[in-house]
Amino acid sequence: MKTLVLVEHDNASVKDATLAVVTAAGKLGEVHLLVAGKGCAGVADAAAKIAGVGKVHLADDAAYEHQLPENVAPLVAELMGHHDAFLAPATTTGKNIAPRVAALLDVMQISEIIGIEGDKTFTRPIYAGNAIATVESSDPKLVITVRGTAFDKASSEGGSGTVEAVAATGDSGLSSFVGSELAKSERPELTSAKVIVSGGRALKDADTFKEVILPLADKLNAGVGASRAAVDAGYVPNDYQVGQTGKIVAPEVYIAVGISGAIQHLAGMKDSKTIIAINKDEDAPIFQVADIGLVGDLFKIVPELTGKL
Amino acid sequence: MKILVPVKRVIDYNVKPRVKADGSGVDLANVKMSMNPFDEIAVEEALRLKEKGAATEVIVVSIGPAKATETLRTGLAMGADRAIHVAVDDGVEVEPLAVAKILKGIADAESPGLVILGKQAIDDDSNQTGQMLAALMGRPQGTFANTVAVEGDHVVVKREIDGGLETVKLAMPAIVTTDLRLNEPRYASLPNIMKAKSKPLDSKTPADFGVDIAPRLKTLKVAEPPVRQAGVKVADVDELVAKMKALGIA
Ligand SMILES: Cc1cc2nc3c(=O)[nH]c(=O)nc-3n(C[C@@H](O)[C@H](O)[C@H](O)COP(=O)(O)OP(=O)(O)OC[C@H]3O[C@@H](n4cnc5c(N)ncnc54)[C@H](O)[C@@H]3O)c2cc1C
Ligand SMILES: Cc1cc2nc3c(=O)[nH]c(=O)nc-3n(C[C@H](O)[C@H](O)[C@H](O)COP(=O)(O)OP(=O)(O)OC[C@H]3O[C@@H](n4cnc5c(N)ncnc54)[C@H](O)[C@@H]3O)c2cc1C
């Protein structure tokens, strides 16, 4: 089988999310990559070095600068003339583009796979991870998004792929990029952090969240996450949300502070290797999944913990 | 301008889903069902656009068994003007691609300026239908919307993305999918629930739109995920620090 993997990048470097998808694609067959962007030749060169990669298709055109799905999906659909499976990371970029490709190909997408059971058979979580479905596709081509935490990352070195330029399919004229507000942070990204400290509604407000959670995260060189309640209340920006409808994370250690453990939150973090929970309610559901729990007032515990580390 | 809002009847988000013993699916018998929360946000956004004068009519659509009409009545009680029910037999699951094809048929007939969907249904968590509909209609998409503003014949959508927020400008007709922060949906008042009973509700079938709903994916089995065991509770911070040291993170 010939697979085509969408490389996630910012026109400067390959994002880590790509690497797990390469591993998944490698289980299906030959791995080709697509780098669509503007001024992104350097990305294609770096992508060619990912272990296990064959060809890298480079589509360098202003229409692809911001990954607008109206422009990228037709390009992918055309390349799918010579490939059997399209795989994208289950990031907001992948989720935006892949279903559009699927519809252009008249294929039913398989979302957020966590396992590959055969050429056409995959496992995926449904109902906020409370059930795992095994599904088999009957379509002639596959369109798949891959959950990054479920596959090992391919090595970004050691590959010897070849870069081949492909012609752009043009600008649809339907959409344009206006601007973005990207969080600038020195902290590890949530989806690749080894340790994550997450805060919930109990953190009261944005200032308290900063005062209590950030020093602990700094001590542990941790990424910072939050429950939906904390995001909705404006303590932290939307991209901090961990859960069914936010980010799916699986760090070595996840520390939940003042988070009750609603199923929607658990869906995003229960594959973490070790879960530590700090909550004043000893019956909080988070303790049912926590490896280590400490019952008590977070406003006493967290500063003390930060001091003693 | 008309706004079309597809709404799906799903397990209520407060219910913990249970896998059936025979592995054929999730047990939905006698389980509380509600409108998909993202679709409530979609209805709310459509109503606000109408209240601001940017739209003239809000149409809710659901594809599903007879019970899906309850979800449509909820949309009407929130304030939608009329409803379209595309009926399928009980127990028949319609995949996002087929849903998108039916919605395209409805959009062709109604010519809405906007179609506002949820970003994902909380049962199947596919996150596909809106994007597929946009592709089938050959129209632009603003997914995971945080704010929506109609400006003349364009709609400006601020999107929630992994790194923060991104704004795109789309030529209408356009497809929008809702994220959690777009708005806080209203509750239907009792008088409006009563009024909803007499609002028009059209009945259709997939065949009316020439859509074959035969599934492309076959569910071979549905299983419980591995369960995590609760671990230990520590007595104080010193004990916690010791445990964290043992894990090598302190
Ligand atoms: C255990 C299980 C087994 C299944 N087995 C099968 C099977 O054997 N065959 C099969 O065909 N399917 C099967 N399905 C899939 C079917 O249940 C889902 O309804 C379908 O995949 C839709 O996915 P989604 O709603 O998550 O789409 P999403 O793309 O997540 O939905 C996004 C938005 O699209 C709109 N939307 C989606 N569906 C509708 C609708 N019906 N009416 C109106 N608006 C809608 C809503 O605005 C919604 O917010 C199965 C699902 C489960 C959970
Ligand atoms: C469609 C939909 C999608 C959703 N998606 C997500 C998602 O992706 N991610 C997500 O997280 N949620 C999601 N939710 C929301 C989810 O249902 C919960 O509402 C949310 O996770 C609760 O956040 P919380 O634990 O911070 O708040 P709460 O449930 O209010 O819990 C606060 C906790 O803090 C504890 N506490 C209070 N004070 C102290 C103190 N001084 N010291 C120690 N502990 C204290 C309390 O005992 C309590 O357990 C979703 C909901 C819906 C309907």
Strand partners, A85: A3, A142
The beta-strand segments (E) located in chain B are 2-6, 9-11, 33-35, 57-64, 82-87, 114-118, 141-151, 154-161, 164-171, 174-178, 201-204, 217-223, 232-234
Residue B168, number of CB atoms within 10 A of its CB:
25
Q: Considering only CA atoms, which of A228, A231, A224, A272 is closest in space to residue A248? A: A272
A118 — phi, psi (to 5°)? -175, 180
Question: What pLDDT score does A43 carry?
Answer: 98
The two beta strands, A253-257 and A223-226, are unpaired
Q: Which residues does ligand 2 sit against, CB inside 6 Å?
A: A 200-202, 227-230, 241-246, 258-260, 262, 264-265, 268, 279-281, 284, 297-299; B 13, 37, 122
Predicted ipTM of the assembly: 0.93
- Distance from the Cα of A139 to chain B's closest Cα (Å) equals 6
Q: Considering only CA atoms, which of B180, B120, B119, B183 is closest in space to residue B149? A: B183
Indicate the residue of B17, B129, B156 with minimum beta-carbon distance to A178.
Answer: B156
Residues 120-179 in B contacting A (C-alpha not used; CB under 8 Å)? 120, 122-136, 139-141, 143-144, 146, 156, 159-171, 179
- The domain ranges of chain B are 2-219
Q: Is B204 in the pocket of ligand 1 (CB under 6 A)?
A: no
The structure tokens listed for B189 are 């008042």
Residues whose CB falls within 8 Å of the CB of residue A244, separated by 6 or more in sequence, listed in order: A128, A129, A263, A264, A265, A267, A268, B122, B125
The two beta strands, A55-60 and B57-64, are unpaired
Domains of chain A as residue ranges with CATH: 2-165 (3.40.50.620), 195-308 (3.40.50.1220)
Burial letters B86-112, b for 16+ CB under 10 A, else e = bbbeeeeebbbbbbbbbbbbbbeeeeb
A97 — phi, psi (to 5°)? -90, -45
Give distance in angstroms: CA of A230 to centre of ligand 2.
8
Q: Which residues does chain B have with pLDDT short of 70? A: none
First to last CA, chain B: 59
The structure tokens listed for B43 are 């209805």
pTM of the model: 0.90
CATH 3.40.50.620 fits B2-219, yes or no: yes
- 3-class DSSP assignment, residue A5: strand
Question: How far is Cα B39 from Cα B120, in angstroms, rounded to an integer?
Answer: 9
Q: Which residues does chain A have with pLDDT short of 50? A: none
Contact in structure between B210 and B98 (CB atoms under 8 Å): no
- DSSP letter for each residue of B154-192: EEEEEEEETTEEEEEEEESSEEEEE-TTS--PPPPPHHH
Question: How far is Cα A79 from Cα B69, in angstroms, rounded to an integer?
Answer: 42
Chain B partners of A297 at a C-beta cutoff of 8 Å? none
Residue identifier of the C-alpha nearest atom 1 of ligand 1: B25
Closest residue in B to A140 (Cα–Cα): B216
Residue identifier of the C-alpha nearest atom 28 of ligand 2: A260
**pLDDT tens-place string over residues B159-182:** 999 989 999 999 999 999 999 999
Question: What pLDDT score does A237 carry?
Answer: 94
- Distance from the Cα of A82 to chain B's closest Cα (Å) equals 21
B5 — phi, psi (to 5°)? -125, 105
Tell whether the torsion through CA atoms of B59, B64, B67 and B71 is positive or negative: negative
